Amino acid sequence: MKKVTETRADVELSNLDQPLFDGAGATKRDLVDYLDAVRDRILPVLRGRPLSVMRVRPGQEPFMQKNVPKYAPDWIATTTVWAQASHREVSYALCNDRRTLLWFANQRAVEYHPTLAEAGGDHPSHLVMDLDPPEGGTFDQVVRAARLVERALADSGLDGAVKTSGAKGVHVFVPLDGAGFEDAAAATRALAARAERLDPDVATTAFIREDRDGKVFLDSTRAGGATVVAAYSPRIRPGVPVSFPVAWDALDDVTPTDFTLRTALDRLGDGDPWAERMPAPQPLPADLVEEGHAIPIARVQAMHEGKRRARARRTDGPTT
């Protein structure tokens, strides 16, 4: 039964003293308090963008919510987007203000995944590289790969900001000046390829997991309608880590678990390092875009390669 505990910004908050999820070491109140305290820093990266959230309910597995539920209050701003994969229209929330953020927190929305373009926009605001460690890998490996991306950016005349993903990797963001979706996606592929060439023993662009050979994956597929967890967003993981901005020269001195629902605010103080460290929007170099357009799209290439390998297995058959 819902137990209204208090009201903030005209939002009724309920069951605040319940555990957030198994292994969180935190309550729903901790989530609400954190998001409310960080609202002036997280709202700028959510505002105006179609939002997907990861929610938790007692006794259930976490789930991704894209469509705004029918019971949502009518004051929540929404935008409708055609989903090509499912061939239907999806009504996304726009988390534009404190009241909406608190409503989502009360719904046990722990993770906040905005799109890379604003609602109705015809270009992404950022190029994003997602660096994932191999199975059993360490954060030190991710940092070594991030240094390659940093060098590739500098060699290409670009500058970016970096944050922990809140999981095991990092995200590199490069603000863009008017690049279209296809050119941004191409530039991301080229940037990943350039970083890989700097030290192929450390990083790989191989989309198929079994081809990565214990290297850090430079994921260049966060483009188009993709989402990326927002800076300052908590994650549904033990201890509730937070995706947190890090200075490039501080990467060697941190681990993702340094930043949690309980520690992030103290580390932030009065600052907003994500906004402070984000460079100005930059045009994409023509040679980077041209190189990227010649690189196959990773997901498409992986799909064709997977089919080829499946055919080969069927043709070869078991040996006796």
Question: What average pLDDT score do residues 63-89 get?
Answer: 89
Half-sphere exposure of residue 234: CA atoms within 13 angstroms, side-chain side: 34
Query: Which pTM value belongs to this model?
Result: 0.92
pLDDT digits (tens, 9 = 90+) for 16-64: 999 999 999 999 999 999 999 999 999 999 999 999 999 999 889 999 9
DSSP 195-256: HHHH-TTTEE---SGGGSTTPEEEE----TT-B-PPTT-B-SSTT-BB--EE-GGGGGG--G
Six token digits for residue 131: 């660096």
Residue 306 predicted with pLDDT over 70:
no
Residue 303 predicted with pLDDT over 80:
no
